[in-house]
Amino acid sequence: MTMPADIAEILRRGTAIPAHPLALTPARTLDERRQRALARYYIDAGAGGLAVGVHTTQFAIRETGLFEPVLRTAAEEAERWSDRPLVMIAGVCGPTAQAVREAEIARNLGYHAGLLSLAALGSASEDALIAHAEAVGAVIPLVGFYLQPAVGGRELSADFWRRFAAIEAVVAIKMAPFDRYRTIDVVRGVAEAGAEDRVTLYTGNDDHYLLDLITPHTVMRGGEPVTLRIRGGLLGQWSVWTSVAVDVLRRAHEAAAADTVPAALLTLDAQLTDANGALFDVHNAFHGCIAGCHEVLRRQGLLDNLVLIDPDEGLSPGQADEIDRVTAAYPHITDDDFVRANLERWLA
């Protein structure tokens, strides 16, 4: 399986890909009107693609029969609402048979790649994980996913990422271990595989994403230095304040091209990290990491409730106050005016 050339170029250049949330009614059925409004928001905000069926969409959509309807809704809006090509990435997870089946569904709906979660394979050997990836990669191009252990991921070695990057179906890797050491393991793995011209690095480190985007990573290969850059982001944090996120990525690309990092971007990086702490509920071990994003979208009117699939999930005590704090402290990272000006059209 290969990507269309224009889609591959967008992915390779580096783009902003928000992780698409799930809009539910109070009865926990799909709120299709608001699900479509979210996709329209991301498209009009300038996102280069959508990631659907991923952690932010809630992995439990598989058990509730919502996987295919949710993917179909986003694919339809990408086709109907946008006059430009969009990179469509579907979350793919579970044991190999399930992951292959999900990859087939995504491919048949027009998705260009599968974001491969390995969480369901538990403590399987790295050999087994590579075999799993090869099987799914025979169906759809792959985006690797280093998910942080706090929300169900596992530690993986630099050698695993070398072997993963060597798989021809792999087109990108989203690094989201929320850990500097493990992020560098992925960079090393891609370099050691000699895959840097085929595999594009994307940050999923919502806690420090701007620094990822402005840092040239130089590692050694065969005694020679090789420099890789993280080109774009596929982020849960970008499910909110998306028009600002697109602009932040633009500024990061400009800094990378100039090989100079303005001090203002380093300040902004720290502010975005502080904001992420509130959104992702870091003080409560990420319990409210999905609910925090929903709360911002609810306040903006894109969602009208905080209903998640799991009734035990929601905002942690004090999390709403933390969101109040960061939005008041950093109004420049929010896009309330943009949403207000377009909300009625998106919901129509």
Burial state string for 186-207 with b = 16 or more CB within 10 A and e = fewer than 16: bbbbbbbbebbebbbbbbbbbb
pLDDT of residue 106: 98
Residue whose C-alpha is closest to residue 12's, from 172, 141, 243, 148: 172
Torsion angle of the four alpha carbons 111, 149, 322, 324, in this order, in degrees rounded to the nearest 10: 0
pLDDT of residue 147: 85
C-alpha R_g of the chain: 19
At 253, list the tokens: 């690309």
Integer angstrom CA distances of residue 155 from 124, 179, 182, 193, 236: 12, 10, 8, 19, 20
Q: Which portions of the chain are predicted below pLDDT 70?
A: none
Residue whose C-alpha is closest to residue 292's, from 317, 310, 309: 317
pLDDT of residue 35: 98
pLDDT of residue 114: 98
pLDDT of residue 194: 97
Interior angle at CA 111, CA 107 and CA 113, nearest 5? 90
pLDDT of residue 241: 98
pLDDT of residue 218: 96
Q: Which residues contact 277 (CB under 8 A, 6 or more apart)?
A: 207, 283, 322, 326
Q: Are the CB atoms for 215 and 252 separated by under 8 Å? A: no
181 φ, ψ to 5°? -60, -45
> What would the pLDDT profile of 93-138 be if each residue is shown by its tens digit?
999 999 999 999 999 999 999 999 998 898 899 999 999 999 999 9
What CATH architecture is 5-347?
Alpha-Beta Barrel (3.20)
> What would the pLDDT profile of 150-181 be if each residue is shown by its tens digit?
777 788 999 999 999 999 999 999 999 999 99
Q: Are the CB atoms for 306 and 291 separated by under 8 Å? A: yes
Sequence spans of domains, the chain: 5-347
Q: Which residues contact 53 (CB under 8 A, 6 or more apart)?
A: 61, 67, 70, 71, 90, 91, 92, 102, 106
pLDDT of residue 149: 82
